[in-house]
Structure 1
Amino acid sequence: MVPPIFELVVCITSSALFDCTELREIWKRDGFEIFKEHQRANLMVPLQPGAGYSLVRSLLALNEVAKNQLVEVVLISRKDSDSGERIRQSIYYYKLPITRMSFTGGTDVTKYLSAWKCDLFLTADEDQVRTVLSGTSSEAFTGIAAALVCNIVDTTSTIPSKLILVPESSHGQQSNSNINATILPSEINTSTNSDLAAPLASLSWPEGQVRIAFDGDGVLFSDQAERIFKTEGLEGFFEFERKHDRIALPKGPMQVFALKLQKLRQSLGDNHKWRIRTFLVTARNDVGNIRVFHTLKEWGLEIDETHFLGGLDKTPFLQSINPAIFFDDSRENIDRAKTYVPSAQVIYGINNLDPDILIKSTSIESRNIQNDHST
Structure 2
Amino acid sequence: MPANLHGQLVIAISSRALFDFEAENQVFESGDDTAYMALQQRLLDQPAAPGVAFSLVRKLLAFNAGGTPRVEVVVLSRNDPISGLRVFRSAAHYGLAIERGVFTRGAAPWRYLKPLSAQLFLSANDADVRQALAAGVAAARVMPLSRQASAHHPDELRIAFDGDAVLFSDEAEQVFQRDGLAAFREHESQRAHQPLPAGPFKPVLQALHGLQHTPGMRVRTALVTARSAPAHERAIRTLMDWQIEVDEAMFLGGLPKGEFLREFEPDFFFDDQAGHVESAAVHVPAGQVAAGVAAG
Counterparts of residues 178-327 of structure 1 (less than 5 Å)? 190=148, 205=153, 207-266=154-213, 268=214, 275-327=218-270
TM-superposed deviation, 1:11: 0.5
Task: Quote the residue 1:186 is aligned against.
Answer: none
Say if 1:7 and 1:264, in contact at 8 Å, map to a contact too: no
Task: Quote the residue 1:52 is aligned against.
Answer: 53
Structure number with larger C-alpha Rg: 1
Counterparts of residues 167-182 of structure 1 (less than 5 Å)? none
- Aligned partner of residue 230 in structure 1, secondary structure: helix
Q: Matches of 2:158 and 2:132 in 1, distance apart?
A: 24
CA-to-aligned-CA distance 1:236-255 (integer Å, 9 cap, x gap): 11111111111111111111
Say if 1:229 and 1:237, in contact at 8 Å, map to a contact too: yes
Say if 2:15 and 2:75, in contact at 8 Å, map to a contact too: yes
TM-score (normalised: structure 2): 0.94
Say if 1:7 and 1:263, in contact at 8 Å, map to a contact too: no
Q: Matches of 2:47 and 2:7 in 1, distance apart?
A: 29
Q: Matches of 2:176 and 2:129 in 1, distance apart?
A: 25
Say if 2:258 and 2:282, in contact at 8 Å, map to a contact too: no
TM-superposed deviation, 1:79: 2.1
Say if 1:13 and 1:75, in contact at 8 Å, map to a contact too: yes
TM-score (normalised: structure 1): 0.75
CA-to-aligned-CA distance 1:307-349 (integer Å, 9 cap, x gap): 1111111112111111110001111111111122111111111
Aligned length, in residue pairs: 295
- Aligned partner of residue 9 in structure 1, secondary structure: strand
Q: Matches of 1:338 and 1:120 in 2, distance apart?
A: 20
Task: Quote the residue 1:17 is aligned against.
Answer: 18
**1:71 maps to amino acid:** V
Task: Quote the residue 2:113 is aligned against.
Answer: 113
Task: Quote the residue 2:32 is aligned against.
Answer: 31
**2:12 maps to amino acid:** C
Say if 1:78 and 1:104, in contact at 8 Å, map to a contact too: yes
CA-to-aligned-CA distance 1:174-209 (integer Å, 9 cap, x gap): xxxxxxxxxxxxxxx648xxxxxxxx67x6x5x310
- Aligned partner of residue 64 in structure 2, secondary structure: helix
TM-superposed deviation, 1:350: 0.7
Match for 1:146 among 136, 139, 152? 139
Q: Matches of 1:97 and 1:17 in 2, distance apart?
A: 13
Q: Matches of 1:2 and 1:127 in 2, distance apart?
A: 32
Task: Quote the residue 1:340 is aligned against.
Answer: 283
Percent of residue pairs identical: 39
Q: Matches of 1:339 and 1:17 in 2, distance apart?
A: 18
CA-to-aligned-CA distance 1:88-141 (integer Å, 9 cap, x gap): 22112111100111122333211110101101110010001111223xxxxxx3
Say if 1:78 and 1:103, in contact at 8 Å, map to a contact too: yes
Q: Matches of 1:42 and 1:293 in 2, distance apart?
A: 49
Cα-Cα RMSD: 1.9
TM-superposed deviation, 1:2: 6.0
Task: Quote the residue 1:93 is aligned against.
Answer: 93
Q: Matches of 2:161 and 2:177 in 1, distance apart?
A: 22
TM-superposed deviation, 1:352: 2.2
Q: Matches of 2:30 and 2:73 in 1, distance apart?
A: 31
Say if 1:8 and 1:264, in contact at 8 Å, map to a contact too: no
TM-superposed deviation, 1:33: 1.2
For structure 2, the 5+ residue unaligned runs are none
Q: Matches of 1:31 and 1:253 in 2, distance apart?
A: 35
